[in-house]
Amino acid sequence: MCGIVGYVGDGDATRVLLSGLNQLEYRGYDSAGIAVSDGGGEICGDGGVDANGGVSSDGAGIDVRKRAGELENLEAAIESGAPTGSVGIGHTRWSTHGPPTDRNAHPHTGETGAVAVVHNGIIENYRALKEALVDAGRTFESDTDTEVVPHLIEQALADGADPETAFRRAVSQLEGSYAIVAVFEGVDALFAARNDSPLVLGVGDDGYHVASDVPAFLEFTERVVYLEDGETVVVRGDGATVRDGDGDVVEKAVTTVDWDVEDTGKSGYDHYMLKEIHEQPTALRQCLSGRVNELDGTVELPEVDGVPAPSTVHLVACGTSYHAALVGAARFREAGTPAQAFLASEYAVRTPPVGDALVIGVTQSGETADTLAALRAARSRGARTLAVTNVVGSSAARECDDAVYIRAGPEIGVAATKTFTSQVVSLSLLVERLAGSATGSEASRERLAALRDLPGLVQQVLDESAAAAVAEAYVGRDGYFFIGRGPNHPVALEGALKFKEITYEHAEGFAAGELKHGTLALVTERTPVIAVVTGDDAAARKTVSNVKEVEARGAPVIAVTDGRAGVAEYADHTLALPDAHPSVLPLLANTQLQLVAYHVANRLGRSIDKPRNLAKSVTVE
């Protein structure tokens, strides 16, 4: 949720930190801050600890600036005189403990101001730690759990510890999830630790970076070191020393990410979300590239060559990824493999018997806390785990036995768009690869041919969509209902989720057959019903009957359809889908619903890329 940046090197720390925070705005936040020191000392120099418990320095101190609200508020606070120095940390906060105020914003300091700390995650035992610190005479200024950390560090410094020892001693007392970075007065280094919250190092030409996500430092370097749970690191301008939980030095590999900094720009679009909707054809081509052999109806996924055909599949996910998991589970069942999608937050606390099930975690970021907890619960019961994710080197990818990457490229908008379609296609490929009975069949060849055509079909929808006109006709209604049956049910759920995420209007998605069981009481002439109807089978005909029910009660109907079931006859507006194989029609319908949500939100003047209260990567349970 929150964003962390840190820098130590030869450059201007303030400029580097603000650049990183700008790149992390997409994660969602409600306050921001930086702390900068001009360093000037060694980690274990002769200065030792002064009488106040602070590290001896040349007196420059740590300059902390932080403000509630948008990043521009912080930038305004810096205009009158930016902090100067070559060592610093920054943070965008998404509130968990205490409201979004200046004093609750990060970074946090103790009483001496000798150390400043930023933190992602939740410190579960902070109350007990805080009570002990207060009993020892320390005064707290914020409502946050984070503030215990600088106080613990200062306490260790006062007891004679050097900075690294003080930092490690403080971290050892914490319980919960955290990514923590600290800067000390007069010390040319950053001190960082992670546990159940992402943290990566960037190896640059003029210094080292620390961040919660790679895009924070892509402007400066593409060389990355991924930290593991339980590790701490001392980061200097010319290198970093990583230690495990026992204090032993760990050798870490440096990898190069294949994201280009240009990929994270808007490329002329008004919003990242609109850009990413239009990037779907490219993302799908990347997802499919080198993986499909249409001639013999097979899929090449070397990542899972060692995975046997599963007898049972559990898919665990949250939010949009859960809707993709629903599609994946249905496709496994169609291929003859029992499968079920679970909300990761429920699976983690009520893990069903796994037996010899393959447990698949579907997570865009690879850092979603509930999904990681579900995967860990499954592994603890002996299950084989597989991650379907967008981020190479993410926690899910590293912790699972196997990983399949969706190759969608960086997604900056909080509301997932191109990653949903790439997740569904990746899961479809996984089904073809693992459900051996279908591989090489005529039906398999038809499905793979449909996937080959999908990027062009999505482009056709983007080029011809009437979503903007439909959005204009239905702005400001009392509520919006999205319905669909079978493979269109997850699309209805996803359409409603997108709509509510960025418009802030009430929207509900459900299986069309449930319309009569409660929701019909809410249907009026001011509640548009968006019906996804594809094909002309029994499910489509029954959905047309549901459309007639709401039409009879005065509700306006928007049909998202390929036209085969004749639903347009009963609709006030139609969003047309091109002729396509049944397996890809739901994804084409999803593109139309993404555009409707975007245009309604834009018409209402909403913060489309950074919707209120939401975060891109949900790293707390």
Q: What is the pLDDT of residues 301-328, one digit of tens each?
A: 999 999 999 999 999 999 999 999 999 9
pLDDT at 119: 93
Q: Is 9 a residue whose pLDDT tops 50?
A: yes
If you average pLDDT over residues 381-394, what whole number do you get?
92
Which is higher by pLDDT, 81 or 400? 400
Q: Is 429 a residue whose pLDDT tops 90?
A: yes
Helix axes 418-434, 585-604, angle to 10 degrees: 160
CATH level 3 topology of 465-621: Rossmann fold (3.40.50)
| Closest to 376 in 3D by CA, of 398, 408, 406, 392 | 398
User: CATH homologous superfamily for 3-263?
Assistant: Aminohydrolase, N-terminal nucleophile (Ntn) domain (3.60.20.10)
pLDDT at 197: 83
Confidence at 519, pLDDT banded by 50, 70, 90: confident
Determine whether 318 is an active site residue.
Answer: no
Tokens of 206: 């003029």
Which is higher by pLDDT, 375 or 101? 375
Q: Is 56 a residue whose pLDDT tops 70?
A: no
269-462 maps to CATH 3.40.50.10490: yes
Q: Is 46 a residue whose pLDDT tops 50?
A: no
Q: Is 264 a residue whose pLDDT tops 70?
A: no
Contacts of 322 by beta carbon, 8 Å cutoff, 6+ apart? 341, 343, 344, 362
Q: Is 134 a residue whose pLDDT tops 50?
A: yes
- Selecting among 275, 418, 500, 616, the annotated active-site residue is 616
Q: Is 362 a residue whose pLDDT tops 50?
A: yes
If you average pLDDT over residues 146-165, what whole number do you get?
95
Confidence at 51, pLDDT banded by 50, 70, 90: very low
Which is higher by pLDDT, 97 or 368? 368
If you average pLDDT over residues 274-281, what whole number do you get?
94
Determine whether 400 is an active site residue.
Answer: no
Give CA–CA dist 428/417, Å, rounded. Answer: 17
- Selecting among 2, 287, 318, 400, the annotated active-site residue is 2
pLDDT at 502: 96
Confidence at 59, pLDDT banded by 50, 70, 90: very low
| Closest to 249 in 3D by CA, of 225, 237, 236, 232 | 232
pLDDT at 47: 30
CA distances from 395 to 329, 508, 619 (A): 23, 32, 11
The whole-chain average pLDDT of the chain stands at 89
**Spatial contact of 582 and 535, defined as CB atoms under 8 Å apart:** yes
Q: Is 53 a residue whose pLDDT tops 50?
A: no
Q: Is 543 a residue whose pLDDT tops 50?
A: yes
Q: Is 25 a residue whose pLDDT tops 90?
A: no
**Spatial contact of 496 and 521, defined as CB atoms under 8 Å apart:** no
